[in-house]
Chain A
């Protein structure tokens, strides 16, 4: 076992061990739970960065163990360039969400279970990106769902949390089943379940290949919450406790993108995917506009930001649908930058909700003076999400639009571009109603916990820095392109 394999084991193992320790200690670890989780969440991020040199040397760090010999299934983990952006995003979001939870979560005897489940949720996402075989991929894919549903079910806000958790689980599981069928077809066709074998090509009849690609696309779009498969998202994001919402919106939605990149785009040839290009682009535009309109119509701050996710996922799907190098790189970049900005927005909204105890924008207003730091950070988030330079989302949207104009569908691309005007509308409306204007009667503001403010500020700075110096991240993302569509552009 070489050093890289050890790092792989640590990336996956540290949060898993932390989760087990937290579950075993239960009430006894109520005070230390947050720290244990935070420490464990740092490992994946450090590990991912530690693996970078090996990736730059052109190696693929991998770990392979015997698992189910009878069915030809091995337990395989790996990090390649396609994995890396998602792994780093997920690890970073988890770490910040946990730091945020130190301030946001009210400590009681169930606290260790809360952090334990957050860890499991993170393990699910890390495992999904690291898995190098389909069985393992699906196991982690569902772990992600199970852990997050339990978090919503037990710690969600309001009486409806049971119903919301149920809806979230069932709708998302519907997508998972489609993915499962696709996986099993590939497993049967290739005879092994390792991704590396799949990369060598799968002999499927054309009709079958089209069906499998469609199943994958629909299944992963459920996770991405693209219209009309987004029905689980607004409720789940609104009801979930804030750290979970951050992980859901900033990290888990990206897993859908990862799935699309890994399976349909990574396995099938360009000719097979061409039939899906326009439908993906159209679905992307529709989702973008629909999400933005719904965000304009909502009053609950969390719902506004939740619908903004539907809209942003539309950009990503559009970028993937262009099937151009720029579009796909832009979509991946958008996953990373959207994670930064969406986490920032939710954290800012969380500061407002926690400090004032209100969450409807009709009852909020004039908070700019009372909480200037939160106002500045949220404003950075809101401006960034509109795609305004010099914030990071501008870079990724640039790439996505560039990809769009590279195709023959200039009209669609122009529509996407103008659709982003709606984003400006809801983002400014949101900022205006919360931080400007007259302050309603009886609106009192308490001082938020430092652990909630620190990650917010960090993300705001990151959004700006990444916008100005995106070269490193661009470099990571462009390395993935040879792995997709058989490397033909």
Chain B
């Protein structure tokens, strides 16, 4: 018995899809040349859709098993007796978000990438990025975790530098490559430390002894995990690659990187850390501390940005900080609802930041805008994009009734129910930051809706532009989703319901 095959299906689906899309890109008949991009985008979106469909029974099974207290669904068998992949409630939330966003990004790319060509590289890489991501969060042992993490990272490096004629893109990709590789090497070192002491790589089985009984190697290994995966999830001060990478990559790629990739790495860090016996309380304290850095630095630097995408990238740092804060509070005080709030925010953030980057991409595609100032008057030229952009930014700023506000409410509820100084200090920083964030989200909104400056009016006011439906549809879907999550958070809260208690249980087992 090799286990529950549903666990492996999303990976198989995406992996085979990547190969199939590559072949299709190579073999498509010449008469389809004009519509090649759209065909491939549709295929890729279907692969994502199929993978998403396989998640549905899997999450039902996981949920049933989790509530019944049975073992979670696993697949495959490694030498040590542990499984190769394991589905858990938290990972499935991230997988679902990644697949959903991936599908929309694929549809969007159906027009967005049409000037870059090289579809046979782009779409398979996009799929491989998600293969790596899904594998990483589902991995049941440290080796497959490392392998998938590396796969995800390599795909991300190439995608960041996808516009290879642009020097800055190459530079950003290279910086990401160097920092990311150092991160993965440190991660590998950490894995070897853990393996040295325990003689096995299945992290779930590897736990079982209390923190105090652990030897120095496991502790060193965990420190390496923090640094290695911290680079990947852009924890300050290991974030320096992020603004360049997310700011220079094609917008569709930035949407994936900011929306799901860093969060997946963060979840892996949590899972591996707790699974290897890092006491939840200590990890929580550490995360609350680090989250203040992330929030403050992210928001502070976002205030002074000139380029829209760098602004959004810094905002991702801040939003990561909010999630870390909520998780940290949850772990420190043993509050499942706080961790759940972080997952809720994660889903909301994937939609909001994805939408923001996609909107930026449309502006770039049609009007060649890179700086914030160039977005002036965009509401006249691309009204749909302006409205969607406002929904995304308003959501990120936490304005009701959008998704970000529901997230903020749940984060606040968690943090306020805890009666001591750590939570209050964190809370004060959180609130100051959410006010600080208005300082850059709102001017962006104002810029979108103000008239272009007089001197340039002839240039900028080229009248209303027609947007390709391939780009419009994902914008509308994501915008609707942000509104829906904000207005009716119930189902989305249910989606993340088990994630919080799962992580707590993982940390509290010993």
Contacts and interface: CB of A to CB of B under 8 A. Distances in A.
Grouping DSSP codes into helix (H, G, I), strand (E, B) and loop, the A interface class, with mixed when no group exceeds half, is helix
A165 B447 CA distance: 12
Contacts of A21: none
Contacts of B394: 146
Nearest to A141: B400
B380 to A, nearest CB: 10
Interface string A160-182: 00100110011001100100110
B348 to A, nearest CB: 14
B412 interface: yes
Given A173-B438, A188-B417, A67 B490 contact: yes
Contacts of A153: 445-446, 449
Contact of A166 (B400, B412, B427, B442): B442
A150 B412 CA distance: 27
Given A68-B493, A174-B435, A143 B412 contact: no
A153 B445 CA distance: 10
A187 interface: yes
A139 B438 contact: no
A142 interface: yes
Nearest to A69: B490
Nearest to B448: A153
A165 B427 CA distance: 27
Contacts of B416: 181, 184-185, 188
Interface in B137-187: none
Contacts of B300: none
A135 interface: yes
Contacts, number: 72
Contact of B405 (A71, A142, A174): A142
Interface range, B side = 20 to 34
B401 A143 contact: yes
Nearest to A188: B417
B490 A173 contact: no
Contacts of B409: 135, 138, 180, 184
B399 A71 contact: no
Contact of B400 (A69, A143, A184, A188): A143
Contacts of A162: 443, 446-447, 450
A146 B399 contact: yes
A184 B412 contact: yes
A146 B438 CA distance: 12
Nearest to B438: A170
B123 interface: no
Nearest to A154: B449
Nearest to B486: A139
**6 shortest interchain CB distances as A-B pairs:** A139-B400, A162-B446, A70-B493, A188-B417, A142-B400, A68-B490
23 contacts: A68-B489, A68-B493, A70-B490, A71-B413, A71-B489, A71-B493, A139-B401, A142-B399, A143-B401, A150-B449, A154-B449, A162-B446, A162-B447, A165-B446, A169-B438, A170-B439, A173-B435, A180-B412, A181-B427, A181-B431, A185-B416, A188-B413, A188-B417
Interface of A: 66-71, 135, 138-139, 141-143, 146, 150, 153-154, 162, 165-166, 169-170, 173-174, 177, 180-181, 184-185, 187-188
